[in-house]
């Protein structure tokens, strides 16, 4: 987001605020009440030092909160799954503006996983499919976004074999060797 590493507390606070602003939507989107409570718990961490696994932010699920709260496009890339997350709703004053794009990659080093920022080339680079959950849960104020990104999504599908493209969300366990 460009806030710097010391702003992590504010980002967590922002995402928690977003999660709690529409509980019924996010409970449906993030697999029900139990997972919703897990997200609230994970985001409600502000201690210094190492965070236990229960406080880790997971992708791509947190991507919905990031995209919607910050009004950005989140592009998630990994060997297991690639997808694009759009804001679930968008104020009318932003309808004609280009939204910033944030690309996040999941990289496996040994048996540990790390999220890294991915810098995409400028221009209309291919993007992974728009999340199927976005198609099911977006508000009419954001519906027009799909038309804006549809051609780039189609280019991505042509470049990458379908075996590497997933349109559904999956929780990625950073300690799981299969992730």
Question: Domain map of the chain by residue range?
Answer: 5-164
Quickly state the pLDDT bin for 161 (edges 50, 70, 90).
Answer: low
Instruction: Using alpha carbons, select from 119, 69, 125, 66 the residue that is nearest to residue 94.
Output: 69
- Please provide the CATH number assigned to the domain covering 5-164: 3.90.70
Quickly state the pLDDT bin for 124 (edges 50, 70, 90).
Answer: confident
The region, left, alpha or beta by phi > 0 then psi within -120 to 50, assigned to residue 83 is: beta
- DSSP secondary structure, 131-167, as one string: PHHHHHH--TTTTHHHHHHHHHHHHHHHHS-GGG---
Look at residue 160 in the predicted model and tell me its pLDDT: 75
16 pLDDT more than 60: yes
Q: What is the pTM of this model?
A: 0.84
């Amino acid at each position: 987001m460009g806030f710097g590493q010391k702003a992590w507390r504010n980002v967590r606070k922002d995402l928690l605020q977003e999660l709690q602003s529409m509980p019924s939507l996010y409970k449906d989107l993030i697999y029900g009440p139990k997972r919703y409570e897990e997200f609230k718990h994970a985001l409600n961490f502000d201690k210094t030092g190492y965070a236990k696994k229960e406080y880790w932010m997971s992708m791509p699920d947190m991507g919905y909160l990031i995209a919607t709260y910050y009004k950005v496009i989140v592009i998630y890339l990994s060997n297991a799954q690639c997808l694009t997350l759009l804001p679930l709703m968008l104020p009318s004053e932003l309808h004609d503006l280009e939204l910033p794009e944030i690309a996040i990659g999941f990289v496996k080093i040994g048996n540990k996983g790390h999220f890294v920022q991915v810098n995409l080339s400028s221009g209309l680079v291919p993007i992974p499919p728009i999340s199927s959950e976005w198609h099911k849960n977006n508000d009419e104020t954001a519906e027009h976004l799909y038309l804006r990104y549809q051609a780039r999504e189609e280019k991505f599908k042509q470049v990458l074999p379908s075996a590497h493209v997933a349109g559904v969300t999956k929780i990625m366990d950073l300690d799981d060797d299969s992730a």
